[in-house]
Chains A and B, each alone.
Chain A
Amino acid sequence: MKKYVSEMEVVENSMLHSHYCLLKLRSSNPLPEMTPGQFVQVLVDKSPNTFLRRPISINFVDYQHNELWLLIQLVGDGTKRMAEFKVGESVNIVYPLGNGFSIPGESDSDKRFLLVGGGVGTAPLLYLGKRLKDLGFQPCFLLGARSAGDLLQLEQFRAQGEVFVTTEDGSAGEKGFVTNHSVLKERNFDRIYSCGPKPMMIAVARFAASKGIDCEVSLENKMACGVGACLCCVEKNKEGHNVCVCTEGPVFNSKELTWLN
């Protein structure tokens, strides 16, 4: 898939709760095809301690309006500066990068998909859920967060499919972690897609493996180049080799990694 470096215009930048922002960028040219799970590298200027681009997963693509949505958790100086991007400002991005989630084909028409996200890791699942729904599937979402204030875009998720929620403090949905949710006992799924904190994804991958469910996970290792040149963002694969998350991933089938050992 061809990569681009482009200037895009900020058309909206709104805070979601206290430490997340939803940045909507508009391209003057028609957006190329992007697979859910791919990411972009955002240039963050006017932030003295921020040198590298910030890898951000694609939250949603609105092809009708040529908009690319990024859901950002405000963690450090770089992401805080991104929350200050003003409407009308131009943002330089390199995109689309990495390999996305496997998109089911016609032979999968009877398959059931569960999309499990934690915290800001729910971001790519919105675009994935939309794609699955457009293809005629009925995706289910299981979204986990620390507390109700960390649950993001619930309305948009509900527009794509059924949504189940857990919070660690019990302030919304079932109390506990996503892997404790009752839906996992009550229903059967053929594939789980997951993105979130690594311990959560490992738990999800192990649960899936124990049930014989196919499982894809999206990693967010620290990156520099984003295009497979620097070899900084590596993860060990099951053969024990270091592979670049930016080009071999960020989405991996959990069987390819060492997490199930």
Chain B
Amino acid sequence: MAELSVNIGELRLKNPVTTASGTFGYGVEFADFFDISRLGGIFVKGTTLLPREGNDYPRMAETPSGMLNAVGLQNKGVDYFIDHIYPTIKDIDTHFMVNVSGSSPETYAECAAKLDALDKIPAIEVNISCPNVKQGGMAFGVTCCGAASVVKAVREVYHKTMIVKLSPNVTDITEIARAVEAEGADAVSLINTLLGMAIDAEKRKPLLSTITGGLSGPCVKPIALRLVWQTHRAVQIPIVGLGGIASAKDAIEFMLAGASAVEIGTYNFIDPCIGLKVIDGIDAYCDRHGFHSVTELIGALEK
């Protein structure tokens, strides 16, 4: 039984396994399947200052070993979260972290400030990488100055752990990572989805209402792993790795590439108990390899 706790900035997670925003609801959707308090953390659905309806149906297309989505940050707004969701999750013994989006640095900051006041929300994940919204979202995450402007505005009002979620749809992710680190981000999480497309050849039509959407699932894992590895060599702040994790082995690979913790995303749809299996699998791996703490895995590629 290895020590499984890890730190993301000043935030201590009981283990490195969390679930990714938009794939695990508010956790309670999965509570029938396993004890969700065993997770290191839960990143809840992307939340914005005002309610959003998201994009039109169809919003999803299956791809080999993955899927495209174009949900477009449908959510009922941060006030609804505070009044109706927070009371139902605040006593669950894991860290709930809120994924925050906006259409301007000011709306990101205003949303973050409201969450700063919630005792049991120890961290936010600032989403500057959603490919499915017209305003904001990925637009901020693809330039250093855009990314920096959001992080700067949020940092002024948000006093707890700020994780910034990065887009893979950039020429050099390390530049963006350095820019957000310089503005005071406590950690970065990567990757958000890859911009993709699917077509129905018979009907000669795109499969998504938005034509393009975000690709996720095991098909993106090699790309995500490479980006985590590159980012690990570029910044000092911790990395939360995600992108196609479907097993404990996948999660360990992300940690070896430099991630301090991981998020499980799309695979929650395939195996609703995957989070638990990854925790137990990491524990067994540490025992098998003689690691006393899971932190020994972080960036521990053999030379």
Tell me the A residues contacting B by CB distance below 8 Å.
2-5, 43, 48-53, 94, 221-236, 240-242
Contacts and interface: CB of A to CB of B under 8 A. Distances in A.
Given A2-B32, A5-B272, A229-B24, A52 B67 contact: yes
A228 B269 CA distance: 10
Nearest to B19: A229
A113 to B, nearest CB: 30
Interface of B: 22-25, 29-30, 32-33, 45, 53-54, 57-67, 69, 71, 74, 217-218, 266, 268-273
Given A51-B64, A242-B54, A225 B268 contact: yes
Contact of B59 (A2, A50, A232): A232
Contact of B60 (A5, A232, A240, A241): A232
A233 B217 contact: no
B57 A230 contact: no
Contact of B269 (A2, A52, A242): A52
A242 B74 contact: yes
Contact of A230 (B23, B33, B62): B23
A232 B30 CA distance: 17
A146 B283 CA distance: 56
A51 B217 contact: yes
Nearest to A52: B62
B53 A241 contact: yes
Given A2-B32, A49-B62, A52-B62, 15 more contacts: A48-B64, A51-B64, A51-B66, A51-B218, A224-B266, A225-B23, A228-B25, A230-B269, A231-B45, A231-B71, A232-B71, A234-B59, A234-B74, A235-B57, A240-B53
Contacts of A228: 25, 29
19 contacts: A3-B33, A43-B270, A48-B65, A49-B62, A51-B66, A53-B269, A94-B33, A221-B57, A221-B58, A222-B60, A222-B61, A224-B269, A228-B25, A229-B25, A231-B45, A232-B69, A232-B71, A235-B57, A236-B57
B25 A226 contact: no
Nearest to A234: B57
Nearest to B219: A51
Contacts of B60: 222-224, 230, 232-233
A48 B64 CA distance: 7
B270 A229 contact: no
A4 B31 CA distance: 10
B269 A226 contact: yes
Contacts of A48: 64-65
A43 B45 CA distance: 25
Given A51-B270, A224-B69, A242-B74, A231 B58 contact: no
B102 to A, nearest CB: 19
A235 B61 CA distance: 16
A219 B32 CA distance: 24
Given A49-B64, A51-B67, A232-B59, A5 B25 contact: no
Nearest to A226: B269
Nearest to A241: B53
Contact of A3 (B25, B32, B53, B59): B32
Contact of A231 (B63, B74, B270): B74
Contacts of A223: 60
A236 B270 CA distance: 26
Contacts of A224: 60, 67, 69, 266, 269
Contact of A225 (B32, B64, B269): B269
Nearest to B217: A51
A52 B59 contact: no
A59 B74 CA distance: 32
Contacts of B53: 240-242
Nearest to B207: A222
A52 B32 CA distance: 20
Contacts of B24: 229
